[in-house]
Structure 1
Amino acid sequence: MTFLIILNEHAGSGNAKATWELIQPVLQQKNINYTFEISQYPGHTTYLTQQYIKNIEQFVRPVILVIGGDGTLHEALNGAMSSQQTSLTPLAYIPAGSGNDFARGLGMASKPLDALNQILNCHQPMMINIGHYLESMKNEKGYFINNIGIGFDAAVVSRTNTSTNKRRLNKYHLGSLAYLSSVISVLYNQDPFPLMVQVNKQRTLFQKAFLVTTSNHPYFGGGVAILPDASVQKPDLELIVIERKNWLIILWVAILIILGKHLKSRFVHVFKNNQIHLTTTSIEHGQIDGEIMGNRFFDLSMNITQYPFWIDTSIKKIDNKKR
């Protein structure tokens, strides 16, 4: 096989670069065929993926291997889906970002060498359900591996991504604390907003929506199980809407989320379907796979499709005798 590697050295505040330095000797020792590119700026991974696929016939049994965070994988997926392919080139992924929620949702090993082992010993691709979206206001479309958020979640992402604390904490592998810090700072400032949810031609109106997240698996924010029943293997997306009546209630719901009991609250609403439509009538923050979409009105349609991933999650870890 040939692994077409894309490395985002800056993911996880340099963690991806350290990960590459750890796995490169293993690839060389095992005489693994690979070619190597470094993603150097936002959007570059999308371009590199497109170029790999454009010249895919040059490679024997190619797999595109992404080393970085969820944002890097998001770009690779969108590069692959925007390319003309007679047969889909599998994606592989070694998590090296600050959140790594997709790896959690997929059941991947958290340690780089264990994750590499799951890839090298894979025999056939696994079809993964991914999300597709169309935002009609700006005529934007694409794909997501984790989630799309409107409101509180997106405001937290915006603050976290611009935080100087995130870089410092990532150096000590404490990136989730940066997210928690942003949660606390945004909690008292984010206003509720009107939202319409349409599922199976049935419309539900919320006057005080606060957190609105459509997800492909349970996790967001570096390991928070916001939708514990969601799965990349299920044919449905899941949408959670949390209402904010006052700040005390939203604080109580936040505590319930930490305890894993938030789905029992009457201020928390979950929708499950392979097609979900959201509309806002006010300008709100938006995020997709942890990347900022900006402040805007939203007319957002989402549905499920699939893409092959080269990973065998049944392989849990490397035999210690072989390390």
Structure 2
Amino acid sequence: MRCSLLSVRFYIILNKHAGSGQAGTLWPQIRQRLVAAQVQYEVVVSEYAQHAVLLSEQFAKRLPDKPRQNWVVLALGGDGTLHEVLNGLSSQHRDYPIPVTYLPIGSGNDFARGAGLSLNWEKALDQVIQCTHATNYDIGTYNETIKKERGVFTNNLGIGFDAAIIAQANQSRSKVWLNRHHLGSLSYLASALSVYYNQSGFTLTVHVGNKRDIYPNAFLVTTTNHPYFGGGVGIAPDANLKDHRLHLVVIEKPNFFKLLWLAMRLVFKKHLTSKSVHYYQAEKLHLTVPAIEYGQLDGEEMGGRFFDVYAGLTSYPFWFDTTI
């Protein structure tokens, strides 16, 4: 898909609350840059949780499904905002999907890290508005059969420790202050120790092809689409958004000292060789957890539940140029 820069129009979905309000604070500067660059755009504001899903879905319904349309949906927010926008767009079957892009102004911004999009919003905006064609990247798909939920994810689907950390961090008063000082990942670290003591091991069954593995003491279960989760932690160092593989990391519950050792190995990307860490690469996965555990999708809480989830891959056109 190619079109000239001047013909591209952006449908902006602004989440003013992203990054503890950073997106709303920065919007006047972003708007000024768009006007200076003579960029055509329309802007709507996401007012509440899941509103961006509805806004992007409505836009996809109104835009004719034909080739060479010149709209790009721009999510102004974090990974959660991008997650909602993509789920709204993907809910409408289109022969010609509407390209999507975002400015990473959230807590974790892991998709930007995985894609090579700048974490500096001004440079990221240049990578977006100077882009000349869409690029297809892998995104994850999920079908959770117990609650009959399905959708897509750009980063990861997690069950257990990481999801419990997100649930606690999102309730933390310190998260707002840390986000304002660009230290959002520390809110996750601050929650990790207290969550460790409350997170019990649980039974996990992994189905990959004709193979079935059972882990009676699973602790952290992360299906990821690129290397990062939790605000820059390299959980799957070899993953990338074009390898057509999901990367599943299963960690069995370690004692406290082994947890510290694993954390150190994680920093140096050596954790996958540890005996309590199990690693899979596959196009499709089936995970079952017969206990109530926390879940998360792209850093958004799924709540505590049983899990019977099928994960797979599809591709979607993104509008940014990481060579800029």
TM over 0.5: yes
Q: Does 1:68 align with 2:74?
A: no
Match of 1:10 in 2: 17
Q: Deviations over 1:182-239 (max 9, x none)?
A: 1122122211111111111100111111000000000011000011111111100000
Aligned with 2:51 (options 25, 44, 49):
44
User: 1:283 corresponds to which letter in structure 2?
Assistant: I
User: 2:319 corresponds to which letter in structure 1?
Assistant: W
- Report 1:89-168 matches (<5 A): 89-168=98-177
Structure 2, unmatched stretches of 5+, are 1-7
Match of 2:249 in 1: 240
Change (3 A) 1:46 1:243: same
Provide the rounded CA distance (Å) in 2 between the counterparts of 1:244 and 1:92: 37
Deviation of the 1:74 alpha carbon: 0.3
* Cα contact 1:19–1:112 (8 A) shared by 2: no
- Report 1:1-323 matches (<5 A): 1-57=8-64, 61-315=70-324
* Cα contact 1:2–1:63 (8 A) shared by 2: yes
Q: How many residues align?
A: 315
Provide the rounded CA distance (Å) in 2 between the counterparts of 1:109 and 1:209: 35
Q: Deviations over 1:25-61 (max 9, x none)?
A: 1111122110010111001101111122222249961
Deviation of the 1:85 alpha carbon: 2.4
Deviation of the 1:260 alpha carbon: 2.1
Deviation of the 1:97 alpha carbon: 0.2
Q: Please give the secondary structure, in 2, of the residue aligned with 1:71.
A: helix
Structure 1, unmatched stretches of 5+, are 316-323
Match of 1:321 in 2: none
Deviation of the 1:137 alpha carbon: 1.0
Determine what percentage of the aligned residue pairs are the same residue: 48
Q: Which runs of 4+ in 1 moved over 6 A?
A: none
Deviation of the 1:19 alpha carbon: 2.9
Match of 1:318 in 2: none
Deviation of the 1:86 alpha carbon: 3.6
Provide the rounded CA distance (Å) in 1 between the counterparts of 2:292 and 2:153: 22
Backbone CA RMSD of aligned residues: 1.4
* Cα contact 1:103–1:109 (8 A) shared by 2: yes
